[in-house]
Structure 1
Amino acid sequence: MKKNYVLDANVLLHDPHAIFKFEDNDVIIPIFAIEEIDKFKHEGSERGRNARTIARLLDSVRRSGDSLAGGVPFESGGSLRIAIPERRPALLVGLDTSSQDHAILQTAIDIRDRDKEKPTIFVTMDTNLRIRADALGVVAETYENQRVEDPETTHTVVEIEVPGPEVDAFFQHGYLSGPTLVELLPNAAVLLRDASAASHTALGRYDAARGHVTALRVPREGVMGVRPRNKEQAFALDLLLDDSVRLVTLMGKAGTGKTLLAIAAGLKRTTEDGVYTKLLVSRPIMPLGRDIGFLPGDVEEKLNPWMQPVFDNLEFLLSHGDGKPGREQSTTMVELLESGVIQVEPLTYIRGRSLPHQYLIIDEAQNLTPHEVKTIVTRCGEGTKIILTGDPHQIDNPYVDHATNGLSVAAERFKRERIAGHVVLSKGERSELAELAANLL
């Protein structure tokens, strides 16, 4: 059955091409949503870019010859029109009648009452507005097109029970193949467990090209003085050191070692092994496209408060993992930064750049939108490896959530690609106090 989908302004600001993604149904945009979008068209952020994009898309649809007031048909069988309610908002529920949300909701109610033949569904990413719509008898849904499953549940360690001799053979030969491995995702983390002795286990990673589980290649002495403290960290370090895996996404709560492991692997592959020309570390300081801000000083001084977590990790690693840097180690970090071998930059000016043969780490990637992650990953030139780290449950960006942020979307969309790997870190290793705080508070 065809349906009427009434779109809120925030849906179009999140995905301007949403108007084309409702198949053969009728898409209706309240005129008040257009007015709200118009307020953001001068912004330099992604929200401003999306506001300008939706205006251009609607204008191109309008120029096809049909009026948006009467409805423009699509090849899919659906249509698009702009709607104004027959009467101005007059909901007697104590709502603010000057609110654009109120006017948009009134439009959805008006369409529902006028068109009894088709179900009317109000689509908004505003949770409170969905609640209000439901209370007023309007069917309300969130915009699902860019939402993904929780990567923390879909990318867990896969446990496979095998006979004891196969575990021993795995240690001896470094790989294990068999029909039980067919449905594994490329680069999936695998725990082989002896069916007769539960404590007899081995860690490996699924090699989709060869169709078998290979042993982890993590140096016994660790990387830059850092050794994995749990199986998830071992999986992560194996992916971080494998140059054939070009995109790695690491998720985990505070203190699980995401950033530390990524920088340690990057330092080793750049400064010790010489595989990459540069280690570039970045994190979003605010929505992509904004200026650095009004902090006093030059660019470097402005960035220091935002990039201090990165400098803390570099200092720890260059002090050989004991956390007590001497003058020699501090000098080493300064020299690496001044020589350009290590660069710490904001994401603000990355659009238009090309980054070949670099080890690129994007920290706090859960605060990025899918479009921003696409912008960053498409900057990667030949020979570049990119690491996205973050915690989808600690999001500061008000326009994304755990299912629509760039980190979660990238992990889900790349899960079947052989050049990508994903690890969820669950155990905090920063300190006993930090782990207790993460769990208890």
Structure 2
Amino acid sequence: MLQNLEADFPEHRARPAGAPHALDGVRVIDFSHFIAGPFATMILADMGAEVIKIEAPRGDDFRQYPPVHPDIGQGAPFLWSNRNKRSVALDLKSEAGLRLARELIATADVVVENFSTGVMERLGLDYASCRRDNPALVYCSVSAYGRQGAFADRLGFDPIAQAESGFISMNGYPDREGVRALSPVMDIGTAMMACNAILGALLARGRTGHGQQVEVALFDSAVLMTGYATLQHVFTGEEPRRHGNTSPDTCPSGAFRARDRSFYINCGSDKIFQRLMAQVLERPDLASHPDYASGAARSARREELFAILDEAFGREPWEHWQARMRAAGVPCGLVRTVGEAVRSPEARERALLTRIPHARLGWVPNLALPIRYSATPLADPAPAPTVGQHTREVLQATLGYTADRLDALQAAGAFGPAERPREARGAPA
């Protein structure tokens, strides 16, 4: 497991020494788990916020999503979504642990939570309770269907949001059931929305001096992720149809086969189509043919046009066509596997996947955010923490607790049972 990291991926290049972060001085208390909440707070952490992840003593269940590395007891998905955070393990079922949570919130700029509706109220950690001690607090709740209304009690995960938003119905081939995206696209989209909402609330606080409650729902984000198909439906009354790898809006767009590899082209305009035919395939007769003069005309003749392209592309290897399409300004790209993508020249050029030091493993992989700041570069990545790794450190530095007082809190059960966490024992769940 994790072999060939040094051969396959470059070491992360450190940010300029002394450069500021975009969110220097912002403290986030993160009660979220799984993907949407933690990915949002990781973006904030990458921007330089101090993110304190509050976990139950057993840890976030997402730690055990496979593949789990046996030496650290956490999996690749958790590493992917929790870098640059500090973990504090608190038993919120104990009065001592709950009191510590309240004290930490009182020092915070932002709280993020994605518990089931009603949990934070029962704990006395809801927005109304927290703002009494911290009126400048930005309090972000990420839920499945919102915190109010007839569906507030419903739980939600990414595949359910894909199904109920109509997203699945749009994807796949017309002769079979729609298919979900394997990537948790709704969780990621919701995380980005939550991060944007938090940043907007912090900007507003800078003008007004007041915090506010922020809410982002997975279902709402999923409906947005169906794209402009929603308004197309409202305009026409027709449901989107599944088109496989082709597009209902542009033609020719789809996957084709060169002599050696499959690739994708997207002719999003008449001019691109004309360049494809005249400059790439050397068929100026088709570029100017009235049967192919518009996207609608080409879509009506998609099968015959695709047959022409299939026959032409199959004569030469991908490198031949890539060079010609790049020169002609025709958008194209290989149909890659994930492994090919992260080892591609494009990914290396952008330093997307690198390796970063890890105290126990030597190196772990790190996938960068697609954000480039010129004046406030993102924080250098630190691997996701073990459960409760920073409990004592955070409470000492943030709340001023002494070692003796921390020992007393541990004896009182504030940090959970008096045993080493799973990860410290080196055993996966």
Name the TM-score, length of structure 2 as normaliser: 0.29
Structure of higher RCO (CA pairs closer than 8 Å, 6+ residues apart): 2
Please identify which structure carries the higher strand content: 1
Relative to the length of structure 1, the TM-score reads 0.28
